Amino acid sequence: MVVQVKTAVALLWRQKLTFRGDMIEICTSKACKFYYVKKGCYTLSEKSMADLQREVDDYISQFKEGYFSPLSMLARMSEEVGELAREVNHHYGEKPKKADEADNSIEMELGDILFIVICFANSLGIDLAEAHDRVMNKFNTRDADRWTRKNVEQ
């Protein structure tokens, strides 16, 4: 939820608000959370991966067709990755867009990929937060010494 500053203060009058440059710190009895500031508005809630998966499931559940088959979703994912590649190539590469091509954005294409990844996971009963944690553990152990760390004192 994004609201104006006055509304944020009204909604959070029991909580301590601390402004730090482009962030707002909201302290509750449990923990402090940081929310990014965008154009004078403050994001008062962050969606967890479970929230995203539930939101996509609620959307898909309203249709009789439901989720596509895994092979169809893999094809859709490949299509979306191709669209992202096209946008990146237009934006950073040597191939400009044609005058009649739609003005898409890298952000929207990444959003499309996120949507199809969530659909894929939901259809297979995969908890993406748990999958993420397992992958991060793999990278943190397997690749612990693979890359040069920043600001490491010798």
- Spatial separation of the C-alpha atoms in residues 65 and 96, rounded to whole Å: 38
When pLDDT is averaged across residues 77-90 and rounded to a whole number, the result is 95
Instruction: Tell me: pLDDT of 105 over 60.
Output: yes
CA-CA distance, 82 to 88, in Å (whole number)? 10
Question: What pLDDT, in 10s, does the model give residues 21-35?
Answer: 545 555 444 444 444
Q: How sure is the predictor about 134, in pLDDT bands with cuts at 50, 70 and 90?
A: very high
How are the residues of the chain apportioned to helix, strand and coil, as percentages rounded to the nearest 5?
50, 15, 35
* 108-128 pLDDT, tens digit each: 999 999 999 999 999 999 999
Q: Please check whether residue 77 is in contact with residue 120, taking contact to mean a CB–CB distance below 8 angstroms.
A: yes
pLDDT confidence tier of residue 64, bands split at 50, 70 and 90 = very high
Report the side by side order of strands in the sheet with 41-43.
2-4, 41-43, 32-38, 23-27, 16-20
Q: What are the backbone dihedrals phi and psi of residue 26, each rounded to the nearest 5 degrees, phi first?
A: -115, 115
- What pLDDT is stored for residue 138 in this prediction? 92
| Coil/strand/helix, residue 3 | strand
Between the CA of residue 5 and those of 12, 24, 43, 66, 97, what are the distances in Å? 10, 10, 10, 40, 39
| Other beta carbons less than 10 A from residue 7's beta carbon | 14
What is the Cα Rg of the chain in Å? 20
Q: Kindly report the pTM of this predicted structure.
A: 0.66
Which residue do the tokens 């402090």 mark? 32
In the predicted structure, residue 55 carries a pLDDT above the cut 90: yes
**CB-hemisphere CA count at 13 Å for 61?**
7
